[in-house]
Amino acid sequence: MQITPLLNDGYAGEPAKRVLNYVQDHRQAGDPVVGIYCGYAPIELIQAMGIVPAVLCAFSKVPIAAAETVLPANLCPLIKSSYGFIIEGTCPFYAMSQAVIAETTCDGKKKMFELIADIKPTHVMDLPQVPDEAEARSNWKQMIVKLQGFLETHFDRQADEEKIEASLQAANRKNALMRRIFDYAARVPSVLHWKEMYDLSFLAIAATGQEMVPLLEPLPDILEQRVREGFHVGPPKAPRVLVTGCPVGGDATKIFNTIEVAGGVVVAPDACTGMKAFMGEFAENSGDPIGAMAERYLKIPCACMTPNERRLTDLSAMIGHFKPDAVIDFVLQACHAYNVESFKIGRHVEEVHGLPFLKIETDYSDADTEQLRTRIEALFESI
């Protein structure tokens, strides 16, 4: 069946090229570019200042060998890849960025940023690790204010409260639309393919609310049409899978591909590269837009937070909404935070939701795809 692509711009299946094009266009128009690595980077502030946030390359296995000449081998592939891209000079986004925003999320990243700090100006945001601690919100707000100061001096761009508030409100609309589109994956059967979600998320993280909203608004109609035409992703009875855990992109999408090869359908990619980026709302007209930003960002249930109970509540809500038949926790090798937390996630999924659970610990190589397939097929057999 012929289906209408969601973004008919010639970049289907090549989200990185689409975003590269987006960033290049802005750069030619004179906008400065700042590199980001993480879902905690407050993009709404960056965008309000007229600066383009570029998500830096971190998902290819190619530069890992170069990185391993300097970094310990027992480090997560995302960090090794990021660092390898930088020392090999192969990340176009890094090349275009005039500075990098870093966060103290995990030990590996924190120490990696120390190594790249002398290559390019790197602004480290000290991220609280106990989000429910009394001081967390004000500390994180201060970090965002400091970031604003760094961006002001570095790029000579300003944003008043009004601009920041407008940016937040536009982001709320963008995020709400994204969630509305994701809802088509929540249908049984799903009419939205994971590659389409992945394509959209890639662009929607970098682009502003103002830019994204007109792009996203027509999409529900296209998806409605799919429903009417009886289109669905995968066989109608295919096992529905929620994938939680570490970010997925580039070579790591082998997890999604393998799920498909094994006969499943990815209905909910819950990660910083997937739905997590579009969850929650910024409080509007609070009179303190930066505080509102701090509040919303601290609600991201990254495993670097402790105790990360919010991940369990959010996961439960997602399970209720997307109705998966199984949950896969995707853990990048040597990512201690997600790896240790996986124990809790598994227990929660099995005991509270009675769903089959599988933890996959892997890297970017293709070495284990056959083994992953066997394990995922066995998971589906248990449904």
Partner 1 sequence: MGQRYAGIDIGSRTIELVVVDETDAIIESQERDTGFDPMAEAKGMIEKVSFDRIMATGYGRNLFEISFDAMTVTEIKAHARGARALFPDIQAIIDIGGQDSKAIALFDNGRVKKFEMNDRCAAGTGKFLEIMARTLGFSIEDFGPEALLAENSLNISSMCTVFAESEVTSLIAKGENRREIALGLHASVIRRAAGMINRVSTDGEIAFTGGVANNPCMATLLSEKLGRPIRVPEHPQRIGALGAALLAREAD
Partner 2 sequence: MSEDYRSMWTDLGLDLVAHDALLSVLGQGYQDIYLSQKNRPEGMAYFDFVMSEVHGLRIKELLDEKAAGRKIVGSFCVFVPEELVLAANATLVGLCSGADFATEDVERLLPRNTCALIKSSFGFKLGKVCPYLESADMIVGENTCDGKKKAYESLGGLVNNLYVMDLPQVKSANGKALLKAEYQRFKAALEDLTGVAITKESLKDAIHTVNAKRAAIHRLSALRKADPAPISGLDALLANQVFFYDNPARFTESVNKICDELEKRIAAKQGVFPAKTPRILVSGCPQAVPNWKLPMIVEAAGAVIVGEESCVGERGTRHLTDASGETVEQMLDAIVDRHFQVDCAIFTPNPDRLEHIQQMVADYHADGVIHYGLQFCQPYLMESMPVEKALEDRQIPCLRIETDYSMEDVGQLKTRIEAFVEQLK
Binding site for partner 2 (CB under 8 A): 70-72, 74-75, 104, 106-108, 110-115, 117, 124, 126, 129-130, 133-135, 139, 142-143, 303-304, 306-308, 333-334, 336-337, 339-344, 361
309 binds partner 1 (CB under 8 A): no
368 binds, among partner 2, partner 1, none (CB under 5 to 8 A by kind): partner 1
Site string for partner 1, 357-376 (x = CB under 8 A): --------xxxx-xx-----
* DSSP string covering 362-380: E-SSSTTHHHHHHHHHHHH
Least distance from C-beta 316 to partner 2, angstroms?
Answer: 18
DSSP structure class, residue 377: H
Instruction: Identify which of residues 68 and 309 has a Cβ nearer to partner 1 in the complex.
Output: 68
Least distance from C-beta 340 to partner 2, angstroms?
Answer: 4
Tell which positions 58-87 bind partner 1, by CB under 8 A: 61, 65, 68-69, 73
Least distance from C-beta 331 to partner 2, angstroms?
Answer: 8
65 binds, among partner 2, partner 1, none (CB under 5 to 8 A by kind): partner 1
Contact (CB, 8 A) for 154 and 51 = no
| 261 contact partners, CB below 8 Å, separation of at least 6 | 373
Residue 81 three-state SS: helix
Distances (CA, A) of 312 to 147, 307, 316, 320, 339: 30, 10, 6, 12, 15
Instruction: Give yes or no for a cis peptide into 301 (omega within 30° of 0).
Output: no
56: left (phi > 0), else alpha (psi -120 to 50), else beta? beta
CA distance 383 to 381: 6
CA distance 164 to 288: 10
Least distance from C-beta 65 to partner 1, angstroms?
Answer: 5
Least distance from C-beta 62 to partner 1, angstroms?
Answer: 10
Query: What is the binding site for partner 1 (CB under 8 A)?
Result: 61, 65, 68-69, 73, 365-368, 370-371
